Amino acid sequence: MLFRKNTLLQEIDYNNLPRHIGIIMDGNGRWAKKRGLPRSAGHKAGAESLKKIITEANKMGIKYATVYAFSTENWKRPKQEVDYLMDLLMDYLVNAEKTLAGENVVIRAIGSRAELSEEMQRQIIKTENFTKDNTGIVMNIALNYGGRDEILNAVRNISKDAASGSIKTEDIDQELFDRYLYTASQPDVDLLIRTSGEQRLSNFMLWQVSYAELWFTPKLWPDFKPKDLHKAVLDYQNRGRRFGGV
Ligand code: IPE
Ligand code: IPE
Ligand code: MG
């Protein structure tokens, strides 16, 4: 059976990789429940999954990945769970400095930072600075991220710049708007993956997914393996992207 292990990977066309993948990492809680474990155990397993998948995406030569780690709506969860998620994300950022930076990954956080603890805000800056000159995949961790919040933030900054005269209202086009997003200068999302069987956007990258191919799997995020990523990329390559043309 060994020779069959990498067949999916061998079918991938490396000249047609998605430039940017988005991942809605969903199903940690259900994964834990199935095992009679607390939800926190699911989040912990989910963080391990993330490391493996980013490492794999980087190896494959994918240039950008945005992963949904905490939404602007996730504050509605019990305080205990929110605290646990924040601690886990903090650990992730600290460890990523060593492990993922060693793998040449550029780590960035996207989302609204003001609501995060000062400690977390400092760590984000530290991790970003530590990895900014790396040349591998750019991983955006969407942390206190909401698509509507991102769009409003852009609108506010555009208004300020228009009021101060540094931009003209007539110059506001899609390309300019794009530069005001958290993902400024990055390509749009080509492939959006959501695990756990849910088929919705949950406020993720509303602007950037406008022409993304959507790929859903019933697998829960902690069970998502490199071979599932290969499958998603292969399926993506077999879709006919028309962008409104024929
Ligand atoms: C995704 O898993 C992780 C976060 C939203 C932080 P969930 O915690 O949403 O898991 P389910 O959907 O309850 O199974
Ligand atoms: C989306 O998952 C947010 C993250 C994966 C961080 P949720 O589990 O919060 O989404 P809903 O509530 O099911 O839409
Ligand atoms: Mg969920």
- For 58-74, the pLDDT digits (tens) are 999 999 999 999 999 99
Of 28, 44, 53, best ligand 1 pocket probe by most atoms within 8 Å of the beta carbon: 28
Residues found in the chain:
246
* pLDDT tens for each residue of 8-65: 899 999 999 999 999 999 999 999 999 999 999 999 999 999 999 999 999 999 999 9
pLDDT one-digit tens code per residue, 84-117: 999 999 999 999 988 888 899 999 999 999 999 9
The predicted pLDDT at position 3 comes to 56
The mean pLDDT of the chain is 96
6 is catalytic: no
The share of the chain scoring above pLDDT 70, in percent, equals 98
Residue nearest to ligand 2 atom 2, measured at CA: 26
Find where tokens 């061998």 sit: 10
Stated pTM of the model: 0.96
Pick the closest to residue 149 from 210, 65, 77, 207 (CA basis). Answer: 207
pLDDT in tens, 133-187: 999 999 999 999 999 999 999 999 999 999 999 999 999 999 999 999 999 989 9
The distance from CA 229 to its chain's CA centroid, rounded to whole angstroms, is: 14
Q: Let me know: does 70 contact 145? Beta carbons within 8 Å.
A: yes
Q: Which two tokens stand for residue 60?
A: 């494959």
Pocket test residue of 30, 40, 219 for ligand 1, highest count of atoms within 8 A of CB: 30
Q: How far apart are the CA of 35 and the centre of ligand 1, in A?
A: 15
Q: Could you confirm whether 26 is annotated as catalytic?
A: yes
Considering the candidates 15, 16, 74, 178, report the single residue annotated as catalytic.
74
